Amino acid sequence: MDGSLRSESTLSSPRGWALLAGAYAFACGAFVAVLLSDVLRVFVDVAGLPVPLLAVPALVTGPICWWRLAERRSAFSYRTGAAYGLLTALCTGGVWTGWFVFVWGTEMLAVGPVLSIVGLTLGFAAVTGLFVGVPLAYARRRIGGKGTATPAGSP
């Protein structure tokens, strides 16, 4: 067995951290979705999924966002963590909003309180994402292994 392949999939590797970021984003998203299940009922009805599975796009968007914002640039500041959480939450919400529009059409967004519900949901997701990404940045800085140092004066 090739030892270099094994070392690339460990938690200390950038790839491992990106995958962890996706799993972490999914877990946090599922938790928030359960908390907001009454508001998300419209999306649940459209998607036909249990509420926690609304966070599934975070399994894809989370690693991509973490890789682009943090690992690729070796930037593990708290601001980067907050930006990661915000971007992941908005991308995940964007996927479901896009699906909603695909199924029901753009005119459905203007009907009744639907646009308000979409805006409220994306707003909650954005604020939650800001807070969710910071602990991941903290963990990456503290236990991330080689290359986790940040420049002096960086938060």
The predicted-structure confidence for 89-108, as pLDDT tens digits, reads as follows 999 999 988 988 888 888 88
Question: What pLDDT, on the 0 to 100 scale, is given for residue 82?
Answer: 97
What is the sign, positive or negative, of the torsion defined by CA atoms of 46, 48, 50, 53? Answer: negative
**CA atoms in the 13 A half-sphere facing the CB of 44:** 13
Cα–Cα distance measured from residue 14 to residue 9, given in angstroms and rounded to the nearest whole number: 9
Query: What is the residue extent of each domain of the chain?
Result: 13-143
What pLDDT does residue 145 have?
59
Give the pLDDT of residue 99: 86
DSSP-derived letter for residue 154 is -
The three-point CA angle 132-137-141 to 5° equals: 155
Question: Which of 28-42, 43-57, 109-123, 137-151 is predicted least confidently?
Answer: 137-151
Confidence of residue 4 (pLDDT cuts 50, 70, 90): very low
Instruction: Say which amino acid occupies 30.
Output: A
Q: Which residue has the higher pLDDT, 112 or 147?
A: 112
Mean predicted confidence (pLDDT) in 43-71? 89
Between 103 and 150, name the one with better pLDDT.
103
| Backbone region of residue 151 per phi and psi (left: phi > 0; alpha: psi in -120 to 50; beta: other values) | beta
> According to the model, what pLDDT value does residue 114 have?
82
Whole-structure pTM value: 0.81
